Structure 1
Amino acid sequence: MILLCQGIGLHQFTHAESIHDKNHRLVYASPCEAVQPTSNLLINLNKQLATVPESQRSQIIEQFWNQITTIQTPVVEKLSKSSSRVIYLWRGAKHNVRLVGGPSNDHEWLTRIPNTDIWFKEVIVQNDFIGSYSFAVDIKNVDGYLSNYCPHLNTELKESRQQRMALRDSFQFDAYNSKRLLDKDINGLRNENILVLDQAPKFINPSQYAKRSLQLKTLNLKSNILNNERKITIYQSIKKQPEQSYITAIFFDGNEYANLLQVPKALDILVEQGKLPPIQAVFIDPIDAKTRPKELTPNTDFSNFFQTEFLPWLDQQIERDAHKTVLLGSSLGGLSSAYIALENPTQISHVVPLSGSFWWQKEKSDEPNGMSRIIRNQALPIKQHWFISANSYETSRAHNELSILNTSPIVANDLKSKGQDVVFKTYTGGHSYAVWQIVVQDALQHFFGQHPKND
């Protein structure tokens, strides 16, 4: 396949024709400059660069970055009452830049403006968008894929999983965005900035409130079934009336929710504002990145751990009302929260799968997906209350693959057909904790706020 990349010329490569230097090392293609900007910001910059002598180009570029320092990134150009163009920018990469997160289901490539240090990606989004993102910069060339000009524009080239995973080693913050969502998660992989457009859902953002004293305790729980030990953090709000019973919210991926998103602080504020009754939250940490998918994919061992070890242990630490116990999780945690809740209907009354990985299939014959097959093959005599969410950019990267966005409403409808109380809601965003922090608050207030929906 032949591609024309501006500033590079005509070249033809196949996936087998990786470029090597004289020492047989993989080398990088020149930065792909095939995509033309459509934003006013960059069109005007290109006009300036085209009208000044070569000796003045560096001054124009420096003035541009000074402007960006002032206005911050991503730059938002409002197009209408409902949509805006968002311009993501990176300065000075040598080989490549990818946008990880943001308004996409994939890792999008940035384009360099020819003969500058300016890399960009433009996206049109709805004005209620909220999302987090990182940049992967100068990703290691693993198997020659990055030696091809504009590989992402060549449909004949297939990026290997090994090459995709290589970007984890090059995550960086946006230097021109002072707003951060996450800073180095438990596995050291996550550096994320945040973008919130003006019509995004309102929520309690803990970072905007003063520091407060919280009732938190951290304990360790050893499992004989799983043969491992994990950290459990428990938060309790203050009771204004001693006779009140607590809501109990149990979170998978506890470190992210307890520490990075500061959910205890957000819940404390909601209780203080009278938007939630007294609540206690329990945060279950994963063992590590390798063990997490094994545990949170529906399986008998983790279900037995939850039912026969975790819940009895928890009931020794706190007073828990089984009719006011919520299980929450995102991604694989959302899949597991649905499965574990169905396995424990007398102990879990409310369920919040946030962007649950309902594309999961235990067997290829599981249709329309693994969780739907589980639901359809059993009676559900006990009514539970569900708040299921999926986000607008959680589509599949290939049209023949299942996605979170298309499987979540199927799972919701299957539960409804079994007599369950189900709310399904979509949010404008990607696969991101930026959205999930909002969904957590929406779901808990839906269940237990001034106008509770459960019966």
Structure 2
Amino acid sequence: MLHVGAVHRGVLDSRENGDDTAKTTSLLRLDAKRGDFVRGSIRGKGIQLWLVDQHGERIRRLTNGDGAMATFLFVVDEPSRAALMVSGPENQNYELRIDSVIPAAEQFQSFDRIESPILSALQRKLHNGGNTTEFWQAVARDGSPLVEDNNADESLREDQALVTFLWRGAEHNVRIFGAPSGDHDEMQRLGDSDIWYRSYPVSRKARINYRLAPDVPVFDGSYRDRRRAILATAQRDPFNPLFEPAKPVDQFDGSSVVELPDAPVVPWLDSSSESLAGSMTTLELKSKILANTRDVHLYRPAGYDPAASGNALLVVFDGDQYIDEVNLPTILDNLIAAKRIPSTAAVLISNPSPKSRAVELPCNDDFVRFLTEELMPFVHEHSMDATRENTVLVGASYGGLASSYAGLKASEVFGNVLSQSGSYWWSPGGEFGSVESGEPNWLIREFVRADRKPVRFALQAGTFETASEILSGNRHFRDCLRAKGYDVHYSEFVGGHGYFHWRYAIADGLIELLGN
């Protein structure tokens, strides 16, 4: 009997079941009842997982056997306990993991359970006729969010803290933009008081940037329009003194930042260091292939000698953001000065428009041609060069997807890929959350079908990137690449989806691919 947290390892026997697509099977009983919500994963080459009824008849295929690992989720709709059937090639090893089983009775959003000890004590005070005046005075003095070392049920691990976001006064709702879940979470109201809150257990290594959005408009519209409505009211936390940029225009500009006690120190971001600064040149590049014009920014490190052996070259998508929000030139200055990477130049590619970005970066053959036939000759003409083995494609989100696709299609030019939170959920025909989207993970399947290319990978993803499938997609891509024999360095940072988080992680990827 499989229980929550169980890991079942097995080898498929040689029993025939009459199905040409799956020669052998293994039947496993699951400790779950009707209405229970089940989540888990299975590893093994060519392994399929089926939900079956009490007689062993197949109800639903949960995984299709593509890739080395797949996740699954389902709701038990049988009157009796559920069972799972594993099928696949004879003598194939597999590993089945049950991550969670949420009983039907617990499938609701609780607005009564308060995890924060501070808010629990305040709730008792309010029930006895008190008010929130002293609470808000303390918040104004000490700042927010609340960071506590324990929670109501004492379930926090030693490496975690409880972070509680706060908002004072709202009529209808408050949402968190950039919360640990990354999913525009609703805050809840403490009784009928002026306190709105939401708590998260997070790693004590976390850095979080966020905004709070009171009274977000609610209307009938498309998924994208309803989700983007949060931007109408999203603003910095008025009780948090830590924010960026340093001089925001108004309360709607920038983001609030919370750094937990064990957040790692990243010295490469220090612009006041004694490292010699490289030079930046911005040029205009017209593309016949893409029929547009864009800026490209050329970074050369201090003392750069284009003829020196061992030089490296970065080709960076979303170049403006990597300059302004990641501060990549400063990171390169410091890494080179510390001799953690060789002398490394960079071409940072701007997007002509948001619309062109959405067309060019997701697995676009014309964009790959632009890189190989127009951009790289342009870069070489301006005396920036490196061997294929020392050339790195760098991108985040769609840029991570684009870097991986270009690595697949043009490995004779690009020998390395640094992907930060790559959008491997993407498929031709739609964007995330749209009904037009095809089966996700299209590019991963392309890598599985293709011969292995001489490309090294550094993949990074955030532990908060769960709602968008970024984290699971990157783990899946990692497993498939390794199964194909690729050299893959994979790392996860405690954070979400955005340049704020990528700036702290990028140096590790560069050191891994280019490190001396």
Given the two structures, how large is their TM-score scaled by the length of structure 1?
0.77
Q: Which has the higher helix share?
A: 1
Alignment of 1:244-393 (within 5 A): 245-322=310-387, 323-362=389-428, 369-380=441-452, 382-393=453-464
> Could you tell me whether the CA contact under 8 Å between 1:82 and 1:127 is conserved in 2?
yes
- Report the AA paired with residue 441 of structure 2: N
Alpha-carbon deviations, 1:71-110, whole Å to 9, x = none? 2222211234211100111223333211111210411011
**Residue 97 of structure 1, aligned match among 151, 174, 194:** 174
**Cα distance in structure 1, aligned partners of 2:278 and 2:258:** 28
Q: Who is 2:105 aligned against?
A: none
**Residue 228 of structure 1, aligned match among 277, 292, 316:** 292
Of structures 1 and 2, the larger Rg is shown by 2
**By how many angstroms is 1:390 displaced?**
2.1
- Report the AA paired with residue 445 of structure 2: R
Are 2:188 and 1:111 aligned?
yes
Alpha-carbon deviations, 1:128-176, whole Å to 9, x = none? 22332222232223229xxxxxxxxxxxxxx843211211222211222
Structure 2 alignment gaps of length 5 or more:
1-108, 151-156, 430-435
Q: Secondary structure at the match of 1:171?
A: coil
Given the two structures, how large is their TM-score scaled by the length of structure 2?
0.68
**Cα distance in structure 2, aligned partners of 1:230 and 1:375:** 30
Alignment of 1:163-178 (within 5 A): 163-178=226-241
Are 2:503 and 1:437 aligned?
yes
The answer to which of 240-249 and 340-349 deviates more is 240-249
Matched residue count: 390
**Cα distance in structure 2, aligned partners of 1:179 and 1:81:** 25
**By how many angstroms is 1:426 displaced?**
2.3
The answer to which of 408-417 and 314-323 deviates more is 408-417
**Cα distance in structure 2, aligned partners of 1:386 and 1:298:** 17
Q: Which has the higher strand share?
A: 2
Q: Secondary structure at the match of 2:355?
A: coil
Alpha-carbon deviations, 1:60-81, whole Å to 9, x = none? 42x3333223322222112342
Alignment of 1:86-165 (within 5 A): 86-143=163-220, 160-165=223-228
Are 2:491 and 1:420 aligned?
no
Q: Who is 2:141 aligned against?
A: 70
**Cα distance in structure 1, aligned partners of 2:473 and 2:124:** 46
The answer to which of 347-356 and 419-428 deviates more is 419-428
**By how many angstroms is 1:207 displaced?**
6.0
Q: Who is 1:218 aligned against?
A: 282
> Could you tell me whether the CA contact under 8 Å between 1:142 and 1:166 is conserved in 2?
no
> Could you tell me whether the CA contact under 8 Å between 1:134 and 1:172 is conserved in 2?
yes
- Report the AA paired with residue 302 of structure 2: I
Q: Secondary structure at the match of 2:213?
A: strand
Alpha-carbon deviations, 1:375-410, whole Å to 9, x = none? 122223x4211111222232246xxxxx22222233
Runs of 4 or more consecutive aligned structure 1 residues displaced over 6 Å after TM superposition: 363-368
**Cα distance in structure 2, aligned partners of 1:365 and 1:173:** 33
Structure 1 alignment gaps of length 5 or more:
1-31, 145-158, 398-402, 451-455
**Cα distance in structure 2, aligned partners of 1:318 and 1:178:** 45
Distance 1:201 1:350, change over 3 A: farther
Distance 1:260 1:428, change over 3 A: closer
**Cα distance in structure 1, aligned partners of 2:324 and 2:239:** 25
**Cα distance in structure 2, aligned partners of 1:210 and 1:393:** 31
Are 2:262 and 1:199 aligned?
yes
Using the aligned pairs only, state the percent identity: 30
Distance 1:416 1:163, change over 3 A: same
Distance 1:213 1:384, change over 3 A: closer
> Could you tell me whether the CA contact under 8 Å between 1:180 and 1:194 is conserved in 2?
yes
- Report the AA paired with residue 77 of structure 1: E
Q: Secondary structure at the match of 1:303?
A: helix
Distance 1:444 1:195, change over 3 A: same
Distance 1:74 1:95, change over 3 A: same
Distance 1:244 1:74, change over 3 A: farther
The answer to which of 301-310 and 113-122 deviates more is 113-122
**Cα distance in structure 1, aligned partners of 2:296 and 2:137:** 46
Q: Secondary structure at the match of 1:87?
A: strand
Distance 1:134 1:81, change over 3 A: same
**By how many angstroms is 1:39 displaced?**
0.8
**Cα distance in structure 1, aligned partners of 2:247 and 2:450:** 41
**Cα distance in structure 1, aligned partners of 2:335 and 2:371:** 28
**By how many angstroms is 1:293 displaced?**
1.4
Q: Who is 2:74 aligned against?
A: none
- Report the AA paired with residue 227 of structure 2: R
Higher relative contact order (CA 8 A, sep 6+): 1
**Cα distance in structure 2, aligned partners of 1:246 and 1:372:** 31
Distance 1:218 1:405, change over 3 A: same
- Report the AA paired with residue 192 of structure 1: S
Q: What RMSD, in angstroms, separates the aligned Cα atoms of the two structures?
A: 3.0
Distance 1:418 1:225, change over 3 A: same
Q: Secondary structure at the match of 1:176?
A: coil
**Cα distance in structure 1, aligned partners of 2:247 and 2:320:** 11
